[in-house]
Amino acid sequence: MSGQQYDCIVIGAGPAGLTAAIYLTRFHLSIKVVDAGKSRARLIPCTHNHAGYPDGISGEALVRLMTEQAQKYGASIVPGRVTRLDRVEDGFRAEWGGGSVLGRTVLLATGVTNRRPPMDEALHDDALAKGLIRYCPICDGYEVTDKKVGVIGSGGHGVAEAVFLRGFTEDITLIAPDKAHDLGAEDRARLDRYGIRAVDGPCQAVAAHEECIVVDTAEGHYTFDTVYPALGSDTHVELAQQVGAALKEGVLVVDSHQRSSVPGLYAAGDVVLGLDQISHAMGEGGVAATTIRNDLARERPILREHLSGSIAAKAV
């Protein structure tokens, strides 16, 4: 471990962590970014709802551009999954396989992971790249307008996703993932009212062609233009738990300035309850970075040394 104590350790380099890194370095603060390389944004073949890109942009390209921007201002970004976060005197220590680092503050921007439907992993990734599997109707429901859509899910969550997607197409089938549907009367009535079919599981996506995906169910094979898994997600809060930060329903609790219940620990992006969108993650990253700067300045004023002599001489 280097003896240096950074102003902030940013854990996670997706849209939230990278936006914060850009702000923090431009505030002339010292930061270390540690990233496990699994940003959900990098799975996006082409986003069309992110403002500023009328022809869309791939998530990979967006993350690359944000990384370049953060590095341009001096952000040091190292690969690694932080496995241990501890409170130490005057800050925190983060540890990962390749090293450890000290920071006065920590920003958790560790995101979530979507639960995947039962299917071969390579087939899943191929289908995702082709838009045959999608995870975010808010992001890309528009792209399935008037198409044939399957939703893999059950209970109230599955029904809600299917009804949301009904705003884009009238051809929706809700497939139970692992057994027969067990829907209450109210959920059944909602499906009937909106003309959504309910098909029993267990199900498994078995083939992805250029323009359609085939799902094997307890009621036979179904072919769809796109399938949305609605199986929930796992939020990466383990590090927050290690330092005793408060959670609510499995999600980190923060105030309106992105402060967690632990002084010096902040969080932004999908790891916090919110819209789970790039724009939201970026907004929270900016708010968190500015709060970190101002909280640090309250402890110790952040004052730029007056540029004198040598710089002026260079300009002459």
Ligand X SMILES: Cc1cc2nc3c(=O)[nH]c(=O)nc-3n(C[C@H](O)[C@H](O)[C@H](O)COP(=O)(O)OP(=O)(O)OC[C@H]3O[C@@H](n4cnc5c(N)ncnc54)[C@H](O)[C@@H]3O)c2cc1C
Interaction site with ligand X (CB under 6 A): 11-17, 34-41, 43-44, 47, 49-50, 81-82, 109-111, 114, 135-136, 139-140, 236, 239, 269-270, 276-279, 281
C-beta of 47 vs 191, nearer to ligand X: 47
C-beta of 109 vs 245, nearer to ligand X: 109
C-beta of 69 vs 218, nearer to ligand X: 69
Least distance to ligand X, CB of residue 93, Å: 14
Q: The dihedral of CA 185, 191, 195, 200: what is its sign?
A: negative
C-beta of 19 vs 173, nearer to ligand X: 19
C-beta of 67 vs 190, nearer to ligand X: 67
Query: Which residue is associated with the tokens 């796109």?
Result: 226
> In Å, how far from its chain's centre is CA 313?
47
The kind and range of the H/E element at 56 are none
Instruction: Tell me how far CA of residue 161 lies from CA of 166, 177, 231, 262, 278, in angstroms.
Output: 9, 14, 10, 34, 20
Least distance to ligand X, CB of residue 214, Å: 20
In the chain, DSSP assigns E strands to 5-11, 31-35, 76-79, 82-88, 91-96, 99-108, 112-114, 148-152, 171-175, 197-199, 204-208, 213-217, 220-224, 226-229, 233-235, 247-248, 251-252, 265-267
Query: What's the N-to-C CA distance of the chain in angstroms?
Result: 42
Least distance to ligand X, CB of residue 16, Å: 3
Q: Which residues pair with 99 in a beta bridge?
A: 96
- Other CB atoms within a 10 A radius of the CB of residue 221 amount to 10
C-beta of 34 vs 230, nearer to ligand X: 34
C-beta of 104 vs 134, nearer to ligand X: 134
Which residues touch 97 (CB under 8 Å, ≥6 apart)? 80, 81, 83
Least distance to ligand X, CB of residue 17, Å: 5
Least distance to ligand X, CB of residue 156, Å: 22
Q: The dihedral of CA 232, 120, 63, 168: what is its sign?
A: negative
Least distance to ligand X, CB of residue 184, Å: 29
Least distance to ligand X, CB of residue 298, Å: 27
Residues 230 and 185: their CA atoms lie apart, in Å, by 20
